[in-house]
């Protein structure tokens, strides 16, 4: 009798122990799955350099302190591909991070074109490996937004527009196509393009001065009575007024041989400027 009772207690003990162990397994399995999910969490490439903002390759911008340090991604909060502080006509922005995020929008940058753009001018330079690389590179370095080699032509100096020659085998984009959305205005004598565009309720688009800086477009919009001449000056492209001194070639159109000299601020008392406004 005593032995039977002992066996019964032993059986009950092992039964209780077995059920306790069963209850432990789901929690353990759940924990393993959670770890697996963490390992599979996607990672991002981001702009890194900003003190206050970061843009990731998913097209989100966030505070530098709020991004996930493990995944390097921004929280998916707010608009994707925001273009805050960007002029969508000139494709230039006043913030590097928003320039990158805006550039990543497929409606702004075509992948097949971006991946043909060279990273640098030398023929041996390679092309960008991804749209994010293109956007991060273009928004950081853009000679078209610099004047006098050491100053920005405008606060909107982070630009992501495609260069005219995207690869060794590419041809120049037709000038007219590059002026889509731009109002070309002829200024008054001695007036800068900043003043010309401001009078129209618009702003001068610095990088479009490069497009207008050709005899083809000068002759289309201006009279150019005495031919089209190469020159160097911050007021160009422009036309010399008829009553200018003879040594200044009255009636001639002038284009600048130095792209670094092109500026929205430039003016000359004897010329009328050809200005890109938006």
| Residue 265 exposure: Cα atoms within 13 Å on the Cβ side | 11
d(CA 23, CA 4): 29
4 CB-contact burial (10 Å; exposed 0-12 / middle 13-18 / buried 19+): exposed
**Mind listing the pLDDT tens digit for each residue in 2-11?**
545 555 656 6
**Mind listing the pLDDT tens digit for each residue in 158-184?**
888 887 544 433 444 456 667 878 899
d(CA 91, CA 71): 29
Give the mean model confidence (pLDDT) for residues 73-79. 93
pLDDT band at 143 (very low <50, low <70, confident <90, very high): low
d(CA 99, CA 205): 16
77-86 long-range contacts (CB < 8 A, ≥24 apart) are: 81/105, 81/108, 83/108, 85/156, 86/156
Residue with tokens 């003043």: 195
**Mind listing the pLDDT tens digit for each residue in 203-237?**
999 888 988 998 889 988 998 988 899 888 889 99
Token pair, residue 21, equals 């162990």
């Amino acid at each position: 009798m005593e032995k039977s009772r002992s066996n019964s207690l032993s059986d009950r003990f092992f039964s209780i122990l077995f059920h306790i162990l069963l209850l432990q397994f789901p929690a353990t399995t759940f924990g393993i799955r959670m770890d697996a999910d963490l390992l599979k969490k996607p990672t991002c490439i981001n702009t890194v350099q900003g003190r206050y903002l970061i843009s990731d390759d998913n097209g989100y911008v966030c505070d530098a302190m709020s991004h996930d340090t493990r995944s390097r991604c921004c929280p998916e909060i707010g608009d994707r591909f925001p273009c805050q502080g960007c002029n969508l006509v000139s494709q230039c922005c006043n913030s590097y991070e928003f320039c990158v995020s805006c550039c990543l929008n497929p409606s702004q940058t075509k992948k097949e074109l971006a991946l043909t753009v060279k990273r640098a001018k030398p023929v041996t330079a390679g092309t960008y490996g991804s749209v994010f690389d293109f956007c991060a590179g273009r928004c950081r370095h853009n000679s078209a937004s610099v004047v006098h080699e050491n100053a920005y032509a405008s606060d909107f100096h982070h630009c992501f527009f495609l260069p005219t020659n995207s690869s060794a085998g590419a041809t120049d984009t037709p000038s007219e196509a590059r002026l889509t959305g731009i109002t070309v205005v002829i200024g008054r004598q001695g007036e800068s393009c900043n003043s010309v565009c401001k009078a129209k309720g618009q702003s001068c688009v610095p990088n479009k001065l490069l497009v207008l800086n050709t005899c083809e477009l000068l002759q289309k919009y201006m009279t150019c009575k005495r031919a089209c001449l190469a020159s160097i000056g911050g007021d160009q492209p422009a036309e010399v007024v008829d009553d200018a001194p003879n040594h200044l070639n009255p009636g001639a159109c002038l284009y600048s041989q130095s792209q670094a000299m092109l500026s929205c601020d430039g003016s000359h008392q004897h010329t009328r400027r050809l200005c890109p406004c938006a």
